[in-house]
Amino acid sequence: MDRFLRLTPDNILGYLAEIQLPFDATTLKHATVQPASGRNNNFAVDIPRYGRCLIKQASVNGSDAPFAGNMSVEACINTILSPNTVHEASSVALFQEPLFFDSDNRVIGYRYIDGESLAEYADRTLTLPLSAAQEIGRAIAAFHTDGRYRLDDHRVIREMLDSRAPHLLSFKFTLNELAWLPGEGSELIRMIQKYPSLAQALNQMRARWLPVCPIHGDLKLDNIILGETGKLQIIDWESSCMGPPEYDLGTLVGSYLDYWLESVDFAAQTEPEEWFLNAKLPFGRITEWFSHFWESYVAGLSAQPRNLAAMQLDLLRYVGVYFIDRAFVFLQTHGVLSVRAIARVQIGKNLVVSPHSIRGVVFDS
């Protein structure tokens, strides 16, 4: 394959027949293909006598070039770290060994995990199992701090991981710096002008971003699968980078808190202080789940943080960044901010600028 091939339902089986996998072209003639959810170009392929596979291809940005080299990071992390990353008593698998990786076309293949994401579970039940909070807390603590996951012995991975702040924090929030952004960028500038304290706080967070440890970079409920056997599998490592551990904690907590916001009936035109009462998902369920997650995370660290209060505040700031990121993605997709997206900006701004105001509620301190 001499040039980049964008996979489609029509060409994916031919593509799989060309690469050396443990099934032949005859078997693939009877395979079926379905688009799979996700931000990438994903497909679920059912192959007779072999099972279901997930084929992921990095999104394409405007031309025939792959959007980013992140699939290389995911493939490298999963290939090198997957053999020794599950404690015997743990019900969380951090990594999954790929079936193959095609660097030229930015394609990676896995055996399909039967189950549902925690996001789907929360959608269906308006709750999350507390046991999952504890197991995930311990597993992420191990990844952040345990010597086996520090990558000291894996120079290839360490050199591949970016140390720059991702997503929203990659911007320098000055009007001159943002002036080049088209369309949705002008809306973002107006948002920044409305909240100058937010711009200042985000710039400070960007300046304080340090490559403390390897982080997942996109840890959220959508990227944790609850398998049919009850085992949890963390997926989608293509955003991995070096950064502060609080970023991972903030995106995970933010993704659950966002389900609470999704359950608010904005058609009722309630004031912000009434959202807690108006939401179908009780806020107390989130704080209970978070309490179990946080306690297990701290207990699982190989060394206790010197300043837990500062870590809590940074975690809440990254929850705020997650909310603003979500609003910006909505803006990019739809061109305008919905009422719910504006609420995300308001909540995110309060968390980024004044995390002290909610720390006592979230951490019960």
pLDDT tens digits for range 65-81: 333 448 888 988 888 77
Who wins on pLDDT, 273 or 76? 76
Structure-token match 């699968």, residue found:
225
Instruction: Let me know if residue 277 belongs to a domain.
Output: yes
Looking at the structure, tell me whether residues 86 and 143 fall in a common domain.
Answer: no
Looking at the structure, tell me whether residues 192 and 292 fall in a common domain.
Answer: yes
Largest CA distance in the chain: 63
Looking at the structure, tell me whether residues 224 and 106 fall in a common domain.
Answer: no
Provide the phi-psi class of 269: left if phi over 0, else alpha when psi is between -120 and 50, else beta.
left
Domain edge (last residue) among 57, 87, 111: 111
- Check which CATH number belongs to the domain holding 168 and give it: 3.90.1200
Calculate mean pLDDT across residues 305-312: 91
Using pLDDT thresholds of 50, 70 and 90, give the confidence band for residue 2.
Answer: low
- Check which CATH number belongs to the domain holding 98 and give it: 3.30.200
Structure-token match 């960028």, residue found:
185
Instruction: Let me know if residue 328 belongs to a domain.
Output: yes
Q: Tell me the pLDDT of the chain averaged across its residues.
A: 84
Structure tokens at 350: 């309060």
Instruction: Let me know if residue 30 belongs to a domain.
Output: yes
Using pLDDT thresholds of 50, 70 and 90, give the confidence band for residue 119.
Answer: very high
Instruction: Let me know if residue 2 belongs to a domain.
Output: no
The whole-number pLDDT of residue 180 equals 55
Looking at the structure, tell me whether residues 153 and 182 fall in a common domain.
Answer: yes
- State residue 89 phi and psi, 5-degree precision: -90, 0
Instruction: Let me know if residue 5 belongs to a domain.
Output: no
Looking at the structure, tell me whether residues 332 and 189 fall in a common domain.
Answer: yes
* Domain limits for position 293: 115-363
Question: Rounded CA gap, 342 and 333, in Å?
Answer: 15
Structural domains of the chain, count: 2
Looking at the structure, tell me whether residues 131 and 230 fall in a common domain.
Answer: yes
pLDDT tens digits for range 122-162: 999 989 999 999 999 999 998 998 755 666 667 777 777 88
Q: What is this structure's pTM?
A: 0.90
Looking at the structure, tell me whether residues 184 and 290 fall in a common domain.
Answer: yes
Looking at the structure, tell me whether residues 241 and 265 fall in a common domain.
Answer: yes
pLDDT tens digits for range 167-221: 888 877 765 665 555 555 566 666 776 788 998 999 999 999 999 888 999 999 9
Domain edge (last residue) among 72, 94, 111: 111
pLDDT tens digits for range 213-249: 889 999 999 999 999 889 999 999 989 999 999 999 9
Q: Is the separation of the CB atoms in 174 and 101 below 8 Å?
A: no
Looking at the structure, tell me whether residues 95 and 132 fall in a common domain.
Answer: no
Q: What is the distance of C-alpha 173 from the center of its chain?
A: 23
Looking at the structure, tell me whether residues 166 and 269 fall in a common domain.
Answer: yes
